[in-house]
Structure 1
């Protein structure tokens, strides 16, 4: 099983010239190790690109992605590491979904397929990342 970050899916949705091929190849490779998962935070971030729930659900179905609920322990951990981030001078306000995603992967022991490694490496150092250069 692999948890997939929003940025990887947006590469597919937008057919990103720089990253779509990389993301498709990593999704295909990860699917050989079990189901590809997203959580509520990824779903919500991805939903910004869709006008209808049926459209996003069709994309997820076509991509072979399954919803995985976030464990309560992951929600708690996300809040704690977000507090740590803010106390250490972090000022960006739109980063909380990253902490939900990282905490979910950490608590469930899932590898995380992402292109955005900075905060994950800093706040979830034990997390196995599938990322460029990793």
Structure 2
């Protein structure tokens, strides 16, 4: 099971210049098994593009499933956010970013994201898939 970040979905659904790379990464992941979104990703897609029912319908139509965030992922997200702040992190990164990473690390086998630097730094061992990367 592979998780997908909202930035990739927003590229795909908005038809941005990076949409073809997002689509290729998603197709490749779907060929390997299920691709899922967590609550944070659904909320971010809804706030950026469309309302809840429309967003979930669009996500389901492209083959994505919903994956609830487990307690262990929520705890890890809080721990990583605390580490971020102790390292001098600003409010640029908030708890939702850490929830996406913890969900992918603890409940999935990889994360499709445009923000691989952040996730690589805080979620060691998480396999990252960056659209357009070789």
Specify if TM > 0.5: yes
TM-score bracket for this pair, using the shorter chain length = over 0.9
Partner Cα distance (2:78, 2:126) in 1: 17
Q: For residue 67 of structure 2, what is the aligned residue in structure 1?
A: 68
Q: For residue 111 of structure 2, what is the aligned residue in structure 1?
A: 112
Q: Structure 2 regions of 5+ residues with no counterpart?
A: none
Partner Cα distance (2:104, 2:94) in 1: 16
**Residue 94 of structure 1: how far off its partner (Å):** 4.7
| Length-normalised TM-score, structure 1 | 0.92
Q: Is the 8 A contact 2:2 2:108 kept in 1?
A: no
Stretches of 4+ aligned residues off by more than 3 angstroms: none
Q: For residue 126 of structure 1, what is the aligned residue in structure 2?
A: 125
Q: Is the 8 A contact 2:5 2:111 kept in 1?
A: yes
Q: 1:83-94, aligned counterparts within 5 Å?
A: 83-94=82-93
Partner Cα distance (1:75, 1:7) in 2: 21
Partner Cα distance (2:125, 2:32) in 1: 19
The count of aligned residue pairs is 133
Partner Cα distance (1:13, 1:109) in 2: 23
Q: Is the 8 A contact 2:2 2:36 kept in 1?
A: yes
**Residue 51 of structure 1: how far off its partner (Å):** 4.7
Partner Cα distance (1:81, 1:49) in 2: 25
Q: Is the 8 A contact 2:111 2:126 kept in 1?
A: yes
| Length-normalised TM-score, structure 2 | 0.92
Alignment deviations for residues 8-51 of structure 1 (CA, whole Å, 9 cap, x no partner):
1000121111x101000000000011111000010111110345
Q: Structure 1 regions of 5+ residues with no counterpart?
A: none
